[in-house]
Amino acid sequence: MKIYTRTGDTGETGLLGGVRVKKHDLRIEAYGTVDELNAVLGVVRAARPSSRVDQILDHIQNELFSVGAELATPTTAGSHFGRVEESQVARLEEMIDLCETDLSPLKNFILPGGTPAAAQLHLARTVCRRAERLVVALSESSAVSPQLVVYLNRLSDLLFVLARYENAHAGVADVKWGAK
């Protein structure tokens, strides 16, 4: 099997279920941004974060493939992939709470930075927020599970906490906004 199919040479791509859409379709933008987020998380993992963060990201990367598959499947085509569930959001919240127990209370706005892994986690958070905005926009014209928006919202919170956790674990202070 060849990696190239030539089916996208006219500016269209196929959704799961066989529907063809333009490559700039909002659904493609949404799951493409989820794919970008997954790639950024791969960069974070290549920066060798703490084992706790690495384990969390391993799990998240697998879930993001399911998120992308859900977005790539128009509801009319059905899906044999799982849907994002409330239990997954609850798990993200548990991870946030667990990591926050090791952090000092947040008293300032912080800037992205610190260790290479923490800085990449901040970048991942911004990509996650963009994915969330695109999924919200998509939901205005297409049927999209509201749970996807909740999941991405909570995931961006987790990525922020993981960036802080990674800095604290490495003994590096968060970069406070306005600090000189």
Domain boundaries, the chain: 17-174
pLDDT for res 15: 60
Q: What pLDDT shows up at residue 25?
A: 75
Reduce the DSSP state of residue 31 to 3 states and report it: helix
What's the pLDDT band for 28 if we cut at 50, 70, 90?
A: confident
> Of 96, 100, 106, whose CA–CA distance to 158 is shortest?
96
Q: Please state, in angstroms and rounded to a whole number, the distance separating the CA atoms of residues 90 and 107.
A: 25
Task: Flag whether pLDDT at 7 surpasses 80.
Answer: no
Residues in Cβ contact with 132 at an 8 Å cutoff, skipping those fewer than 6 apart: 149, 152, 153, 156
Give, in degrees to the nearest 5, the angle at Cα 127 between 122 and 132: 120
Domain 17-174, CATH among 1.20.1200.10, 1.10.1740.10, 1.10.3720.10, 3.40.47.10: 1.20.1200.10
pLDDT digits (tens, 9 = 90+) for 105-164: 988 899 999 999 999 999 999 999 999 999 999 999 888 889 999 999 999 999 999 999
Average pLDDT score over residue span 41-46:
98
Long-range contact pairs involving 45-50 (C-beta distance under 8 Å, separation at least 24): 47/115, 47/116, 47/117, 47/120, 48/117, 49/117, 49/121, 49/162, 49/166, 50/117, 50/165, 50/166, 50/169, 50/170
Q: How high is the pLDDT of residue 81?
A: 62
With tokens 């190239």, the residue in question is: 4
pLDDT value, residue 8 = 60
Grade residue 11 by pLDDT with cuts at 50, 70 and 90. low
Least confident range of 28-32, 64-68, 75-79, 88-92: 75-79
At residue 123, the pLDDT reads 98
Cβ(174)–Cβ(122) under 8 Å? Answer: no
Distance in angstroms (rounded) separating the CA atoms of residues 90 and 94: 6
